[in-house]
Amino acid sequence: MEKISAIEREIFDELRKYKVTLISVPQENYFELLAGFFSILFKFSERVCYVNLGYSFDKLLKNFSQNKVKTNNLFFINFRSEGKSKKRNCEFLPLSSNLEDLSVSLIKNFQLGKYEYLIFDSISELLEQEEIKVIIKFIRAVTKYFKPFETSIILLYKKDSKEYFFKKISEFADKIIII
């Protein structure tokens, strides 16, 4: 087990206080900034479901590898993304999938894994394919479903996306972190 610093413990304890955390991250150095966050989170939890909303899976794994993020304990749900994986801890939803398909996958996989963290990367990627009202309805349903469980939801948001959308999804967050 890796040594845990006081600041890492403080960050983790802060995250565990909230059911839904919205983290706004600038697009420049996006993966590098998230790598530091993930390296802290993965020291504390081995039950993390990572919902990939916009990257090819191969590119995502390459970025994680370049930033020394260990992915062994992650379960991946790849929504409308390309790539192939021989990993057992991965589910691909085809390009024709909709947010209802994603909801079904989340619930099914949660019942199997009882994840401590459910990470959506990046919720703003959905803007390219869905209307804001459809995304809001999806976020509302997901947060409502997971609230009773010991699962923290982390919504990652690319800072340069639509400001109106950020304000709307902020309504679901117990904590907002702007990097």
CATH of the domain at 131: 3.40.50.300
Q: What is the pLDDT of residue 37?
A: 82
Q: What is the pLDDT of residue 169?
A: 94
Residue 118 lies in domain: 26-178
Residue 148 lies in a domain: yes
Residue 118 lies in a domain: yes
Domain tally, the chain: 1
Residue 145 lies in a domain: yes
Residue 17 lies in a domain: no
pLDDT tens readout for residues 143-178: 999 988 888 999 999 887 688 899 999 999 999 988
pLDDT above 90 for 141? yes
Residue 10 lies in a domain: no
Residue 139 lies in a domain: yes
DSSP 114-169: --SEEEEETGGGGGGTS-HHHHHHHHHHHHHHHTTTT-EEEEEEETTS-HHHHHHH
Residue 126 lies in a domain: yes
